[in-house]
Structure 1
Amino acid sequence: MKRLLSIIVVMAILAPLMLFAGGSTEVTETETTSAGTAKTGGLPPGQYNLDDYEAQTGTKLTFSDSPFLDGKGLPPVEERLPDNPLVMETWMENGVFGGTLTWTEYTIDHGHYLRHLNAVKLLEIAPSASNHRYNFVGAEVQPSVLEKWDQNADATEFTFMIRKGLKWSDGVPVTTEDVTYTFEDCYFNEEITPNLPSWLRWGGEPAELTVIDDYTFSIKFAKPYGLFISEITGSNAGRFMRPKHYMTQFHKKYTDISKILPVMEDQGYSEEEWGKFYNSFDAGASDAANHIPTRYPNAIDCPSLHPWHVVDEPNPGEFILERNPYYFKVDPTGKQLPYIDKGHRIFVTDLEVMNAKIVAGETDLQFQFIRLGDFPLFKSNEEKGGYKTMALPAWQDQLLIYFASLTPEDPVYAEVVQDKRFRQALSLAIDREEVKKSVFLDFGRVAQYAPPKGSDVWEQYMDDAYVEYDPDKANQLLDEMGLKWDDKKEYRLLPDGRRLTIPFTYYEVTPTATPGAELFPEFMTPIGVDCQIKQVDGRLYWSQNQAGEIHFADWWLPVQYMHIYGPAFFSVTAFGWNTWINTQGESGVEPPEDVKRLYELKEIMQSTGDPAERLRAHKEIWESQAENVWVIGTVAAAPVPFVYNKNLGNIEIAEEWGFYSVVVGDFAEQWYWKQ
């Protein structure tokens, strides 16, 4: 009865989501808040070059900045902004400066929120109900750090222009010298980058960088790269540019190793580990999520293009951020963004402590690593905590999937898990209705890991593949494989007579991980598969994964990763195969022919400029997943909670528009305090 009441409450909570998901993002008149300025029209939410914005709106912007920067000896705001700033069209109102944004995380060494709140991309997607930073193919591409871009007819050469006058957070101009340094001295330095990322060796040869002038450069590939613009849309600016003026002090090409070595030795690095030492600084230049003092202390002082930068770490896992005085975006009235001056990230020990802080109103924002099952708790305490709760679509289309390592070292076990009948049997043994009710409060729909319903490649059979709860059919498949029962008919045996045991190792990558892990052994008992559950922390998990020691786990997956990383699941489920592909056969485990075909299909998707050919390749990958069950899906399209302080502006419209939770986080610069 209690569970039924919870479901009724949550259905009431999620009614707006059901009504408005996929709704229009047309700009309409809004009421004036006590602090913001009302919008009465304008361009759709997104980002526009200033010259384009003024031409389309007929306005002329005058720039201003936050009083927080007064008295800091900075040049005028007009000199700190680029020649052609980026205008961010706000979602509801034009806000005001000031205040601190506080959030909590229970992972001490990961910046999951910074990956969104503080990210700066090369190019950006227009916010919409159908796209997000991990689902960007086909989305409208808008400028960001890159002001303009172009490509040749056969998609082998791409030209980009950096904003003239764009500056790092310490005021030093960004130019193509930073791009050249990143490519020639970082990517093409084997000590720093032992293996080039796949995009830089597209076509089997290193990409060619050509500098045209101080702000313009081109990248040429050995063969067509039809999805390259889509791939870099949403990529951190560090993919193309690191701050040369800062990073060279740690680079032995520019600074004598005798001057670097004392610092290295003080931190426990030998001279042979220079590349590793350098990367501990470079982490801050490559990704906003790496500005975590606990994880990358060397990265904190690295100049960036982010809206905020870390200035203090009062306690391990806790840090303070302040606005970047050289940030390159403004609002429609000319105010330099972000509106909010400071950020405060608080480390908590676990999910329950985080929930307590939400209910007590001690955090301004939580939208990651919170459970749908806690919706009634959040909703019933809104008035007490001074916050609002939204239900938004999760960017992870499946918040709970199961997978077996397909390249384990044990040859006998490997033969079993590589047999598709084994994976089909495991899938049939899972009671997904129970998963949907107990983990997702009966929301979402039972589905195999499959394309989004209604997409160009989706067919009903892909959702339905081996998702019926049928232990008898599962046992039949295992019998066909010759996996005999023991004398007590309690457990099945491997072909060499050992008990068939799945070592299930996981960490709480999402709040569904633990309940998913707890349910799995119950599902395996009727088919005789022993399952040993072990929870570890994130560091140990990834260390074991890299070593090929993870045999089975639960996880999440966004289906749209398939466009770029597809078959994405092999990066985590078959580390040996993925390594073999990425090193071109120099290391790892050679995949079977049907798996090689999937990587060929991925390459077709990335290279072709023909949408029809890309669609055929995409569909063939999903047809393979439906038959082979490379990963095991459970429930699709479950929403996630988004909790925010009721006085934070330019957020609440996201529920009406049906935006993904991460889309809201990606546009944090335009949030502001109403009072």
Structure 2
Amino acid sequence: MFKPLKSLLLTGGLCLALPALADPVLQESPFLSEQVNAGSMPAVTERAPDTPLFVDLEARGRTSGTQGGTLSTFVSRDKDIRMMVVYGYGRLVGFDADYKLVPDILESFENEGDKVFTLHLRPGHRWSDGAPFTSEDFRYWWEDVANNEALSPSGPPDFLLVEGNAPEVTYPDETTVVFSWAEANPSFLQSLAQARPPFIYRPAHVMKKYHIDYADSDLLNTEVQEARVNSWAALHNKLDNMYNFDNPDLPTLQPWINASDGKKIRHQFLRNPYYHRFDSKGVQLPYIDTVEMEVVSGGLIAAKSNAGEADLQARGLDFRDIPILRKGEEGGDYRTYLWANGTASQIAIYPNLNYNDDVWREVLRDVRVRRALSLGIDRDTINRALYFNLAKPGAMTVLPSSPFYKAENREAWASFDTEQANALLDEAGLAERGPNGIRLLPDGREMELVVETAGERQEVENAMQIVTDTWADIGIKLVLRPLDRDILRNRIYAGTTMAAVWYGWDNGIPQPYTSPDYLAPRYQEFFAWPKWGQFYQTGGDVGEAPDMPAAEELMALSREWDHATSDEERSLAWEKMLKIHADNVFGIGILAEAPQPVVVSNRLKNVPQSAIWAWDPGAHFGVHRMDEFYFDGTGTN
């Protein structure tokens, strides 16, 4: 039951005890009042945690709202209903508006030298189905899922391993969980705040029904057969989709619950009756009762937004859509905000240093070739033609809002200099050309550089057409090959893609607490070195060990950051790694900071006019707290 004397208020991202202030009276939701009156759902005072998280909206320049309404938005793929976990941004620890880490689902946490983290849960907090959320949910995940070979063949996730060693996890009581390492794990809290959270807990009361150590064997076998899967583990993993959000029977702690089963054109998400956040007047968040997410072709998202069919839309919209969106504002009853983009580069080309072709691999590993490719791009023309000069041309590096930004890193090998590019390619032993002016590889083949793309952004194809023309001037033939996103990723990871074009680093605004592991060859997701990343991620079982000095130095510096004991040491590691990237051009950035259009219904309030649209850190709408958005007026739309 709600204990008013223990209430907390979130002011500017900080949790402060307010014993001297009168505690707000919790207000029942009109959306749920019928169920409460019928006795099928407890009253809000029974649903709330003993220590709810009260949010002082006025202190952050927002207004208190009213509950109600259905918010409409679009995605282009059925699997993207997982964006509700991203947008909802219910996290144990999350970023506030200033990108500082603060408790959210947790009541508080303690950090002892980045080695011991004590997590304090909110007493009385419940899952969306009303079951208690306790340390048992953490114990179940750690002991019965993460360390169960059938469910997790690779063992616990990487972010919990320090020098290959797992933490000791203890549970002093039902609201306390302790993660302890012998060596520092400074990125632990940041990992919990990611757009795709690691979910170090599970609804044990539900998932135990599908675990061989807890379930009745006969009933479990029947469930396995009915689900048409091969084993109890396959069934458990199929249902255990905290991030994918496609199992409506799986309880959640997010602000909205998935109320739709299976593949549909429209998915509905209803307010979580047991959500832990309230405004300072005692109104339970989220303000909006229902989110309706419609699956449409990606090419239709801008048109439907222009017609006023979206109450909130940014995903699926690009800079090129701004003119048509602005034209539709009056008739569509919406406004178009231009948010800053948080990725390190709007468009970046990644030569695959692990490409399966030995000749091409050696060519692409020559830093002179990568520098020449970068110098052969006319970024100013791309900026003028596609972004009306509103983007910032340059190499891929962090953005000016990061403390690690240096202009020389953005400028490195990023001028349009055909003469220097040609000289570098000649110096690299690629001086011989065929009758059509295309350079020849050492084995006599033409330098036909195939760049693969997901084909989801017209701006990329337009930019690459300009690159095609300017690369021809340095004797390189560019061939752009569009593929399905998943096929593209699989080809890159397998080493069958020569080069790919994608965004730059997701996190273009890192802080000292941000792990620089995405700058080192630790993950296959960095398209320049997928096999090096696989080698690290699998402990050497798959992939290839880094065998270039610059890559080995990046690995050493990432380890230095891991073991650093101060922000000064961590910052130094960041600066050195960024300099290595600038010199080696592992990813060829084209331009950054192109504005992201955000369509907002005129009736939707508390949406910031100026903000950053970023995956990590930020979770797109998540860090801006979509649960605080509300419809003005009657509460219906």
Q: TM-score, normalised by structure 1?
A: 0.84
**Is 1:603 aligned to residue 546 of structure 2?**
no
1:70 is aligned to: 33
Partner SS for 2:479: strand
2:367 is aligned to: 420
Match of 2:166 among 185, 206, 214: 206
Distance 2:402 2:205 in 1: 46
* Per-residue Cα deviation, 1:599-631 (whole angstroms, up to 9, x for no partner): 221232233221111111111101101110010
Distance 2:184 2:632 in 1: 49
Contact 2:115-2:185 at 8 Å conserved across structures: yes
Match of 2:143 among 181, 184, 187: 184
Contact 2:308-2:332 at 8 Å conserved across structures: yes
Structure 2 gap segments, 5+ residues each: 1-8
Distance 1:369 1:119 in 2: 20
Write out aligned runs for 1:127-526 (5 A): 127-128=97-98, 131=99, 139=100, 141-152=101-112, 154-195=113-154, 196-234=156-194, 239-255=199-215, 259-271=219-231, 274-283=232-241, 285=242, 287=243, 290-292=244-246, 299-312=247-260, 316-351=264-299, 353-453=300-400, 455-508=402-455, 512-526=459-473
**Is 1:635 aligned to residue 594 of structure 2?**
no
Contact 2:72-2:293 at 8 Å conserved across structures: yes
Partner SS for 1:594: helix
Distance 2:10 2:88 in 1: 24
Distance 1:208 1:510 in 2: 45
Distance 1:324 1:366 in 2: 22
Distance 1:223 1:589 in 2: 27
* Alpha-carbon shift at residue 215 of structure 1 (Å): 0.8
Write out aligned runs for 1:39-78 (5 A): 44-46=11-13, 48=15, 52=16, 54-55=18-19, 58-72=21-35, 73-78=40-45
* Alpha-carbon shift at residue 522 of structure 1 (Å): 2.4
1:26 is aligned to: none
* Per-residue Cα deviation, 1:452-500 (whole angstroms, up to 9, x for no partner): 2364333322111111111221121111111243430432222222222
Match of 1:559 among 470, 495, 508: 508
Which deviates more, 586-595 or 624-633? 586-595
* Alpha-carbon shift at residue 207 of structure 1 (Å): 1.3
Distance 1:380 1:192 in 2: 52
Distance 1:362 1:235 in 2: 26
Which deviates more, 86-95 or 156-165? 86-95
Match of 2:49 among 74, 82, 95: 82
Distance 1:559 1:247 in 2: 37
Distance 1:249 1:550 in 2: 43
2:477 is aligned to: 530
* Alpha-carbon shift at residue 445 of structure 1 (Å): 1.5
Q: 1:648 to 1:166 in 2, by over 3 A?
A: same
Q: Structure 2: which amino acid aligns with 1:331?
A: D
Q: Structure 2: which amino acid aligns with 1:197?
A: P
Distance 2:550 2:344 in 1: 25
Contact 1:399-1:556 at 8 Å conserved across structures: yes
Which deviates more, 196-205 or 262-271? 262-271
Partner SS for 2:238: helix
Q: 1:115 to 1:550 in 2, by over 3 A?
A: farther
Q: 1:560 to 1:281 in 2, by over 3 A?
A: farther
Q: 1:316 to 1:337 in 2, by over 3 A?
A: same
* Alpha-carbon shift at residue 100 of structure 1 (Å): 0.2
1:105 is aligned to: 75
* Alpha-carbon shift at residue 234 of structure 1 (Å): 4.0
**Is 1:614 aligned to residue 570 of structure 2?**
yes
Q: Structure 2: which amino acid aligns with 1:583?
A: T
Q: Structure 2: which amino acid aligns with 1:279?
A: N
Equivalent residue pairs, number: 603
1:22 is aligned to: none
Q: TM-score, normalised by structure 2?
A: 0.89
**Is 1:644 aligned to residue 600 of structure 2?**
yes
* Alpha-carbon shift at residue 538 of structure 1 (Å): 2.1
* Alpha-carbon shift at residue 237 of structure 1 (Å): 6.3
Which deviates more, 243-252 or 331-340? 243-252
* Alpha-carbon shift at residue 332 of structure 1 (Å): 0.8
Q: Structure 2: which amino acid aligns with 1:70?
A: S
Contact 2:74-2:294 at 8 Å conserved across structures: yes
* Alpha-carbon shift at residue 314 of structure 1 (Å): 8.8
Q: 1:308 to 1:627 in 2, by over 3 A?
A: same
Which deviates more, 385-394 or 312-321? 312-321
Q: Structure 2: which amino acid aligns with 1:110?
A: D
2:6 is aligned to: none
Percentage identity across aligned positions? 27
Contact 2:370-2:584 at 8 Å conserved across structures: yes
* Alpha-carbon shift at residue 43 of structure 1 (Å): 6.9
Partner SS for 2:339: strand
* Alpha-carbon shift at residue 568 of structure 1 (Å): 6.1
* Alpha-carbon shift at residue 121 of structure 1 (Å): 0.7
* Alpha-carbon shift at residue 527 of structure 1 (Å): 2.0
Partner SS for 1:534: strand
Q: 1:127 to 1:159 in 2, by over 3 A?
A: same
